[in-house]
Structure 1
Amino acid sequence: MIFRLLPKTRRGRLLLSLLLIVLLATIAWWLLRKPAAPPLATSPVTRADVEQTVDATGVIDAYRLVSVGAQASGQVRSLKVQLGDTVKEGELIAEIDATTQQNTVLKAEATLQQQRAQLAVQQASLRQAELDFARQQQMLAAEATSRQEYDAAEAALKTARAQIQANQAQIKGSETEVATARADLAYTRITAPMDGTVVAVVTEEGRTVNANQTAPTIVMLARLDLVTVNAEISEADVVKIKPGMPVYFTTLGEPDRRYHATLRQVNPAPASIANESSSSSSSSSSSSSSTAVYYNALFDVENPDGTLRIDMTAQVSVLLKQAKGALTVPSVALGQKTRDGQQVVRVVGEDGQPQPRRVKVGINNGANAEILSGLAEGERVVVGEGGSASASASSNRAPGMRMGPGMGGGGPRR
């Protein structure tokens, strides 16, 4: 049957042969063809601000925090302030029952008055002794008295003078006791040592305090118009920063608001040194090998509206380098470094094919890199293969975007 269906003419057989050849060539091409290369993920070269920072987690502290205590013992008769009140320096905060202190003042003043009266009597006696001695001198010169009476008058004069000196010394001691008693009486009126806000009320009205051993705290005052941020810098980053560097931070409540300041101080030793000094050397050496070391860096920030509060968490960034309006590409676009310090990127040409090119890189913060030479604005660089989630994320990241404290740059607050 098959042979019957074949064309009988020579021309028909030739056409059939050509059709078979085309069919076999198509099948061979389909079987031997290579799979198409996947599309490339690219990102344009744009101008943006790029910066390199040291990121850390910090805590907001009051610029000045004072525990206002009682130096006098007794019952807290009245408390003049409440939590959150703003007070001025010298303003009355609390009063302690002053009955005992007032009695002490009265007793000391009475003793002083008695000694001053005794001094007046002794001064009169001294005047009489001086007159007697002068009379004895005249009579002795006229040989109208004996030597014994003269010596007795002289001794009485010296005794009167000595008694006055002793009494004057007692008066000075009594005056000191009166001053001390009055000071103790003044301590029953507790006043603010500075302008500030009451951030804690430790002792309630009616409680009895004892100041014989330690001064009990009545309230705690803090200056909040200026706050101090205490940032914990890891030992790997502390060598990169120094006082005077610009710094900014955000809070968890307002992540889009930046507070700018200048780094004031970098402590030379970690805060844990106080605990380590009290432990044995062996335990210190073993703990230091397994525990991360952090150094405190301090800076001050104006807080006129009171938005920043004590113990808030701050996501801190210390600015190391910054370039404004620079040519930038995603850091993932950078390839290997060459011997001259440049790096290789793949640039998409007009034909759509990537070509390697050397570029000079400036700031590289891990998210974006500053390009000093080798690229032009608008060119596209390869950041990964198509279909890669990481490549797509890199190509879609906004120019100038950096990994901030809330995006993996800072550790958890300890």
Structure 2
Amino acid sequence: MSSSQLRSWVAQRPGVVVMLFFVVPALFLFLLMSAAGAGQVPQAPAEPFPNKVDVIKVERQNAYSRSVKVVGRVEASKQASLGFERSGTLLTALVDEGDKVNEGQLLAELDTQRLIAQLQEIEAGIARAKADARLAKLSENRVASLVKQKLESSQRLDETREATLAAQALVREMEARKASVLVEFAKSKIISPFTGTILTRPVDPGSVVGQGMTVFTLQQDSGTEVRMAMAADKAFQLVKGRSYQVFSGPESFNARLKSIANARTISTRTVDAIFEIEDGSNDKAAILPGDLLTLLLPTETQLVGYWVPKSALTNGIRGMWNLFTVSDASGAQTIKTRAVTVLFSDESKAYVSGALNAQDYVILRGGQRLVPEQMVYATQVPFPDSAKPLAVAGL
């Protein structure tokens, strides 16, 4: 069919054209919408199903207890800076850093050539003094014999006796000088005062060391202590001789309170408590001087409030928190909102005060999906163990 014939056919049948371009598409669209369910309105439920919630009973408290962390540094019970009591040249060092030493062990010596020469000189002087003393005694005996024979005066006898005493005194003086030199020999050696480990050795053999200069730093291996600074009221509540638990991460150790300083530290205004790690503790060797250990000290604050799990808290307004409560622990209940203030909290529980009373049952969890005046079914459950306040051990 040519284009002129098509135009003639359309002009003769305008109703057919309207049907093809408008009625047929509209009918097709209606059939599609009917198949898709358009126009079907579901029936609204007659009544919403109430939520089921777990509730707990809260108890009024007059005070709350919490643990205060006190951090202390591990120290060796004995640590000494060892040096010589006289100056000189370090002849030999028999141990080095990290070496284990025993009590009484020789650690180092000074050059003693001068002392040897002095000792030889003094020994010669002692020999001469003893000879003079013997000669004086012989002279005294001869003069005493002559005095008996009336051949010598008593004055001469007195002089010889005094000369003998002077010679004997000189012998004692020289022997004292010898003893002094022997002491210097002893001071030319460093002897370990206790069993331990050499931490440092800052001086090498051949160096000239002064009096009191540190040659070794010695640390005792046994008797590890922990020094903890704390407030005076906390320190003096501790019992001397009692064992306490201290922590290094997850590990715990038993520490006996050894002493409490009877003075404040000037810079921190705290009092030092000294604990001694007991031998029966877990892997005591894992504690090294310089480590930090933690002691948990219970403290009590006198404020009226309630312990609640943190899961029961929801955000309130103006810095407040909300608790959802019901009046009974079973059956259908209406939710009430209680505004509270958090006085203290930890990982699992909070101590709160506010518009709460001991007759309320607190909804344990799920507050984000609840609203005031909502109808719920309540079921009472025990207070969660993880949220129970810890019993305070007596100090």
TM-score by structure 1 length?
A: 0.60
- State the alpha-carbon separation in 2 of the partners of residues 334 and 116 from structure 1: 100
- For residue 367 of structure 2, what is the aligned residue in structure 1? 386
Contact 2:309 2:384 survives alignment (8 Å)? no
Greater helix share, structure number = 1
- State the alpha-carbon separation in 2 of the partners of residues 269 and 354 from structure 1: 60
Contact 1:247 1:318 survives alignment (8 Å)? no
2:395 matched to 1:398? no
- State the alpha-carbon separation in 1 of the partners of residues 53 and 237 from structure 2: 37
- State the alpha-carbon separation in 2 of the partners of residues 70 and 42 from structure 1: 75
Query: Unmatched 5+ residue regions in structure 1?
Result: 1-22, 46-50, 137-148, 274-291, 322-327, 336-344, 357-363, 389-394, 403-414
The residue type equivalent to 1:203 in the other structure is V
Aligned-pair RMSD on alpha carbons?
Answer: 4.3
- For residue 161 of structure 2, what is the aligned residue in structure 1? 161
SS of the aligned residue for 2:179 comes to helix
Cα displacement (A) at 1:353: 4.7
- State the alpha-carbon separation in 2 of the partners of residues 65 and 126 from structure 1: 60
Assess, with a 3 A threshold, how the Cα gap between structure 1 residues 332 and 352 changes in structure 2: closer, same or farther. Answer: farther
- State the alpha-carbon separation in 2 of the partners of residues 331 and 396 from structure 1: 8
SS of the aligned residue for 2:72 comes to strand
Bigger Rg over Cα: 2
Cα displacement (A) at 1:81: 1.0
> 1:305-324 alignment to 2 at 5 Å?
306-318=285-297
- State the alpha-carbon separation in 2 of the partners of residues 354 and 203 from structure 1: 82
Percent of matched pairs sharing the same residue: 17
- State the alpha-carbon separation in 2 of the partners of residues 382 and 235 from structure 1: 42
- State the alpha-carbon separation in 2 of the partners of residues 242 and 58 from structure 1: 18
2:261 matched to 1:267? yes
- CA deviation profile, 1:1-30 (whole Å, cap 9, x unmatched): xxxxxxxxxxxxxxxxxxxxxx9xx8xx99
SS of the aligned residue for 1:268 comes to strand
> 1:133-172 alignment to 2 at 5 Å?
133-136=147-150, 149-150=151-152, 152=153, 154-172=154-172
Assess, with a 3 A threshold, how the Cα gap between structure 1 residues 124 and 369 changes in structure 2: closer, same or farther. Answer: farther
The residue type equivalent to 1:386 in the other structure is G
Contact 2:137 2:164 survives alignment (8 Å)? yes
2:219 matched to 1:219? no
- CA deviation profile, 1:104-123 (whole Å, cap 9, x unmatched): 22222221221111101111
- CA deviation profile, 1:162-186 (whole Å, cap 9, x unmatched): 0111122222221111111011012
Contact 2:55 2:329 survives alignment (8 Å)? no
- CA deviation profile, 1:373-398 (whole Å, cap 9, x unmatched): xx9xxxx954566239xxxxxx9883
The residue type equivalent to 1:398 in the other structure is S
> 1:198-217 alignment to 2 at 5 Å?
198-211=198-211, 215-217=212-214
- Provide the aligned length of Structure 1 versus Structure 2: 296
- State the alpha-carbon separation in 2 of the partners of residues 76 and 301 from structure 1: 38
- For residue 13 of structure 2, what is the aligned residue in structure 1? none
SS of the aligned residue for 1:105 comes to helix
SS of the aligned residue for 1:317 comes to strand
- For residue 92 of structure 2, what is the aligned residue in structure 1? 78
Contact 1:40 1:386 survives alignment (8 Å)? no
- State the alpha-carbon separation in 1 of the partners of residues 236 and 130 from structure 2: 70
> 1:272-291 alignment to 2 at 5 Å?
272=266
- State the alpha-carbon separation in 2 of the partners of residues 37 and 58 from structure 1: 55
SS of the aligned residue for 1:222 comes to strand
Q: 1:66 aligns with which of 58, 74, 80?
A: 80
- State the alpha-carbon separation in 2 of the partners of residues 184 and 74 from structure 1: 11
- State the alpha-carbon separation in 1 of the partners of residues 107 and 334 from structure 2: 76
Contact 2:80 2:219 survives alignment (8 Å)? yes
SS of the aligned residue for 2:124 comes to helix
- For residue 139 of structure 1, what is the aligned residue in structure 2? none
- State the alpha-carbon separation in 2 of the partners of residues 183 and 40 from structure 1: 88
Assess, with a 3 A threshold, how the Cα gap between structure 1 residues 193 and 240 changes in structure 2: closer, same or farther. Answer: closer
2:330 matched to 1:350? yes
- For residue 115 of structure 2, what is the aligned residue in structure 1? 101
- For residue 238 of structure 2, what is the aligned residue in structure 1? 241
Assess, with a 3 A threshold, how the Cα gap between structure 1 residues 206 and 365 changes in structure 2: closer, same or farther. Answer: farther
2:273 matched to 1:297? yes
- For residue 15 of structure 2, what is the aligned residue in structure 1? none
